[in-house]
Chains A and B, each alone.
Chain A
Amino acid sequence: QKEVEQNSGPLSVPEGAIASLNCTYSDRVSQSFFWYRQYSGKSPELIMSIYSNGDKEDGRFTAQLNKASQYVSLLIRDSQPSDSATYLCPRGQLTFGSGTQLTVLP
């Protein structure tokens, strides 16, 4: 089963800064990669999916995938306090990593 490692957290950034979150994978089989966001007390929601090497942008969010390095990152530009949440990478198709807790300070 794929193992995934995330940023050691938690991560705090000031409002307006770029937040950078990372996941690395230990297998070379994965073809699809996802980022989920979970607010405290809520269920996870998908915010980005990426399948090809390179960058994928959606508003203030950019996912970067490097399959050769087994590395996927999420950049949040112009971070807002409303971005404060835990960001999760799936661990295969069954489980998730512990996530990175992001706090954006006003």
Chain B
Amino acid sequence: EADIYQTPRYLVIGTGKKITLECSQTMGHDKMYWYQQDPGMELHLIHYSYGVNSTEKGDLSSESTVSRIRTEHFPLTLESARPSHTSQYLCASRGGAENIQYFGAGTRLSVL
């Protein structure tokens, strides 16, 4: 069973607010990922990390930032939320002998 946690599960905020979406895993995985997914659409990679102090931008242009100060923690920050940021955000980690990727339950964000 995957031990990867995202908080909050749901968030409704106003335009211009700064928010941080939390993601933690207890599996000791070096690789972590953030995806954005709209209903019925494919996953879009927005950030990834291959270890502490390593972060890269993904395919989807994003106004968010990430940090990786600890192996287990990979938070995503939006400095100024906009209605266009309304979406589901999925965090994942990869590792272990079989190099399997596990997903958190997601954060559903609504920006009014």
Listed in ascending order, the chain A residues whose CB lies under 8 Å from chain B are 32, 34, 40-46, 49, 51, 88, 90, 93-99
A49 touches B103 (CB 8 A): no
Tell me the interface secondary structure of chain A in the complex.
loop
What 3 A-B pairs have minimum CB-CB distances, sorted nearest first?
A: A43-B103, A98-B42, A43-B106
Residues of chain A within 8 A of B104, CB atoms compared? 43
Of B14-22, B72-80, B92-100, the stretch lying at the interface with chain A is B92-100
A46 touches B101 (CB 8 A): yes
Size class of the B contact interface (CB-based, 8 Å) = 20 to 34
What's the minimum C-beta distance from A58 to chain B, rounded to whole angstroms? Answer: 14
A94 touches B42 (CB 8 A): no
Question: Bound complex: CA of A96 vs CA of B105, how far in Å?
Answer: 17
B103 touches A94 (CB 8 A): no
Question: Bound complex: CA of A95 vs CA of B88, how far in Å?
Answer: 16
* Interface assignment of B83: CB less than 8 Å from any CB of chain A: no
Listed in ascending order, the chain B residues whose CB lies under 8 Å from chain A are 31, 33, 39-40, 42-45, 48, 58-59, 88, 90, 94, 98-106
B90 touches A43 (CB 8 A): yes
A95 touches B43 (CB 8 A): yes
B42 touches A93 (CB 8 A): no
Residues of chain A within 8 A of B88, CB atoms compared? 41
User: Most B CB atoms within 10 A — which of A32, A34, A88, A94?
Assistant: A94
B101 touches A90 (CB 8 A): yes
Q: Known contacts A43-B90, A49-B98; is A94 also within 8 Å of B105 by CB? A: no
